[in-house]
Structure 1
Amino acid sequence: MEPLFTPEQLAEIHAYHLPHYIRAAVNPFARFALLALMLGVLVRPFFRMATAAAAGLERRFGFLRTAPVSRAFFSAMDRLWGESGWGAAVIFALMTDLFVKLVYAPVDIWFAYTLEHQHGMSNYTPAAFARDMLKGHLLGGFAIAALVIGLYGLARRTRHWWWVLGVPVALLMLVSSALDTYRGRLYFEQEPLPPGPLRTRMTALMAQADIPFSDVLVEKTSVASRRIQAYFAGQGPTRAIVLNDVILQELSEDEVLAAVAHEAGHVQEQKWPGRIASSLAVVALLFAIDRMLRRAAARNWFGTSRFADIRTLPLLSLLLSLVLLLGAPIAGAFSREREREADRFALRLTHDVDAFRRMLVKAARVNKMDPDPPRWVVLKGMSHPPVGERLADLPAP
């Protein structure tokens, strides 16, 4: 069998991945150092600036509190927060988030734009990249504002808030995958795959696997990336097969079917145990946050004056970063095993080892996958087994 990569391709892949490996090694320390800086030095001045900014906005736009249309909004926000002062809290949260984003911006832009262009992995124009980056930051800012009002507001008004908030959040997590088909449309145009042999064969393959779906969509990611991608999105009546336009350009019909068969393996997984475990973990995390907020209030950490003081928000970020860091190796191990089982499912479904092997090889070449990454990178939380291992696990054709 021909080697997966030529020596020249392998050198290019190593040059592409080396910065990512360095970042993976350094980033946890940099993240914790930045959060320690915020907690030790910046929380108090940021809170003073947020309070002053909120007071200035109140003086300038206070009339909106009594205006016919906007007064309902302000009244609702005051009730959610439990008292006045939610504006300063939201501004403080957005300031801390903006500070972190500005610190990381040079690195994020270099990795997401410069490095990708250097190695021929991106089709982004500067304007399109800036637009999507801004869109992501705006969505993130909205999520942070909702977190502040929802979590801190509820915690200030209800003693067992972690239970009151945790249960609906857990239930939302159980059903949120039904919305997956709509998330991709925030960034890329999608259209149905035209009728033809590929759609016909894909429909027959899914009927064989007993997987109902609503449509086959083509996601036009080539405006931003040259990577191959296929996935299932949604659940039940919203489930759709999504192929990006790059995969249709790079792979043959048999190879596309092999990729879809692999993704079908994930549809057949027993997802409920994992979803239930994740939901319980969210409730447990909220309980841990409650304990931490109470300790911070009792000891007046960072100048806090009461329970659920917004000045503890960077401390929550520190706790969440620690949980994610410690949980990544475990989550990665489970994810890699699911990928191996999806490979086995695809082979049982298609009975075409050769097409599956070709699909993996082409995907590895187009996506510049490292066939043998450092073991610590794998154990740190890689979601897929190295492509070299996946190819070695294939039965002889």
Structure 2
Amino acid sequence: MQFSKSPIRPVIGKALLVLCALSIPAMAQAAAGGFDVEAATRAYIDTLQGAELEKSNSYFEGGYWLILWGALITFLADFFLLKSRLSSGFRAWAERKMKRLWAVTWLTSIPYLLASFLLTLPWVIYTDFFREKQYDLMSQSFGEWAGEQAIGLLISLIVFPLLVMAIFAVIRRAPKTWWIWGTGVISIFLFIGLLLGPVFISPLFNDYTEMEPGPLRDRIVAMAAEHDVPTENIYVFNQSKQHKRISANVSGVGPTIRISLNDNLLERTDPEEVAAVMGHELGHYVLGHTWRSIFIIGLIMAVGLFLIARIAPRLIARHGDKWGVRNMSDPAALPLFGMLLTVYFLAATPALNTLIRVNESDADLFGLNAAKEPDGFAKVAMRLSEYRKIEPGSTEEMLFFDHPSGATRVRMAMEWKAQNTENPVIVRPGTLKEE
């Protein structure tokens, strides 16, 4: 359950089943002997009122426009690098320094990445720092935030050139089918990131310490053991230094698998909420969402690379002389590839959101069955209203939400409660406070 934002940037049948389930509250009410699912749902949703509701809606709805403007700024940055012939200049510089084609590609990607970073930096500063401060969602000073941006850039300077080098190598070796092999390359890089990220990347941003023994850890271990999730490593990390969002995850692959809870989750919620969150996160692991995500992301990238393979050669044939781009295997074409991918991912946003949202909904149901804490789950869903609109329209949720909305999650929890709890009663939580 992504209870926080992620720094680095997936069917329909299951979604229809969920919608069908949401359409029969009367059946749930009958099964519960008079428990009113809708009244129980409203009891939670209506705790968010007035200025807090307006602030939540304003923040999230503003994010709709950020998707469009962010894509436009990224597109224009690449267009500038291409049309100004800076990208061809980067390649010419690399050719003077290196002899081998793979080395030229590797070196060209470094100034391209740095130039892209600097061109989009003002936008990133606004969206990721000042706007977060404006809505009281940022705990860091500008210097602290900038330091983490620098760490992220250094990681990109290691990984991105290697990825570009590999992609252009397959373009040279298989000019007609490179997009298929390129998809495989991206999937391999993604797998390596999932394998090594928890051990080598995450600790660069936060301190991880073993969770202290106690009843809460015992409950997490018991839930995990019931579903054959490894429990050798259960960590708490100090994400409160960055923001106050609650978060947890089961990350890693094979020997690097670990369960992680951020300190906000432990400090701001009660044990029932923690159990509900961990039930959800265990669901991602048990349901194989890591492997499903790699497969789905691979398919998404395959379509994007296929479009590049069909469109880019025509654009290079027509405008390549003006841009200083020789052919598809010329690393000076990097901004062109970036422009095409930006347009593709912008158009695919609703589909991408739906694919992720279905995974999250599956994990929600698993978590309810694992933790058996419907009211804890509902309370957590309401806490997410600090940065996520709680009750969008159905079309709005389909287009812009990569997780089920708070209202959808609360309703699912109350339906589960009606169907699985003996003599359920409606909880009227009042305004949720930090525990």
TM class, shorter-chain normalised?
Answer: 0.7 to 0.9
Instruction: Choose from 86, 92, 110 the match for 1:51.
Output: 92
User: Could you tell me which residue of structure 2 aligns to residue 340 of structure 1?
Assistant: 361
1:162/1:287 contact within 8 Å kept: yes
2:357/2:404 contact within 8 Å kept: yes
**Displacement of 1:54:** 6.7
1:170/1:280 contact within 8 Å kept: no
Could you say if the C-alpha distance between residues 283 and 9 of structure 1 is closer, same or farther in structure 2, counting changes exceeding 3 Å?
A: closer
Distance 2:182 2:121 in 1: 33
1:203 equivalent in alignment to 2:218: no
Could you say if the C-alpha distance between residues 259 and 45 of structure 1 is closer, same or farther in structure 2, counting changes exceeding 3 Å?
A: closer
1:230/1:242 contact within 8 Å kept: yes
Distance 2:358 2:248 in 1: 19
The within-5 A match list for 1:162-311 is 162=179, 165-171=182-188, 173-174=190-191, 176-182=193-199, 183-271=201-289, 272-283=291-302, 285-286=304-305, 288-292=307-311, 294-295=313-314, 298-299=317-318, 301=320, 302-311=323-332
Distance 1:52 1:278 in 2: 34
Could you say if the C-alpha distance between residues 167 and 341 of structure 1 is closer, same or farther in structure 2, counting changes exceeding 3 Å?
A: closer
What CA deviation, in whole Å up to 9, does each residue of 1:319-365 have, x standing for no partner? 2223322332222112222222222212212222222222322x325
- 196-205 or 21-30, which deviates more: 21-30
Could you say if the C-alpha distance between residues 321 and 98 of structure 1 is closer, same or farther in structure 2, counting changes exceeding 3 Å?
A: same
The within-5 A match list for 1:74-153 is 78-79=99-100, 81=102, 86-87=103-104, 89-90=105-106, 92-153=108-169
User: Could you tell me which residue of structure 2 aligns to residue 328 of structure 1?
Assistant: 349
User: Could you tell me which residue of structure 2 aligns to residue 63 of structure 1?
Assistant: none
What CA deviation, in whole Å up to 9, does each residue of 1:142-173 have, x standing for no partner? 33322332222443355565555544543554
- 1-10 or 184-193, which deviates more: 1-10
Structure with the bigger RCO (C-alpha within 8 Å, sep 6+) is: 2
Could you say if the C-alpha distance between residues 328 and 19 of structure 1 is closer, same or farther in structure 2, counting changes exceeding 3 Å?
A: closer
Amino acid at match of 2:89: R
User: Could you tell me which residue of structure 1 aligns to residue 28 of structure 2?
Assistant: none
Amino acid at match of 1:242: S
Q: Normalising by the residue count of structure 1, what TM-score does the alignment of the two structures yield? A: 0.81
CA RMSD of aligned residues (A): 3.0
**Displacement of 1:292:** 4.9
**Unaligned stretches of 5+ in structure 2?**
1-42, 419-423, 425-435
Q: Normalising by the residue count of structure 2, what TM-score does the alignment of the two structures yield? A: 0.74
User: Could you tell me which residue of structure 2 aligns to residue 24 of structure 1?
Assistant: 67
1:394 match: secondary structure: helix
**Unaligned stretches of 5+ in structure 1?**
59-73
1:364 equivalent in alignment to 2:384: yes
Could you say if the C-alpha distance between residues 47 and 274 of structure 1 is closer, same or farther in structure 2, counting changes exceeding 3 Å?
A: closer
Distance 1:98 1:316 in 2: 16
Amino acid at match of 1:252: D
Could you say if the C-alpha distance between residues 167 and 107 of structure 1 is closer, same or farther in structure 2, counting changes exceeding 3 Å?
A: closer
Distance 2:379 2:312 in 1: 54
What CA deviation, in whole Å up to 9, does each residue of 1:257-308 have, x standing for no partner? 1110011121122444553344355455545544556545655622333451
Distance 1:265 1:152 in 2: 38
Distance 2:296 2:63 in 1: 30
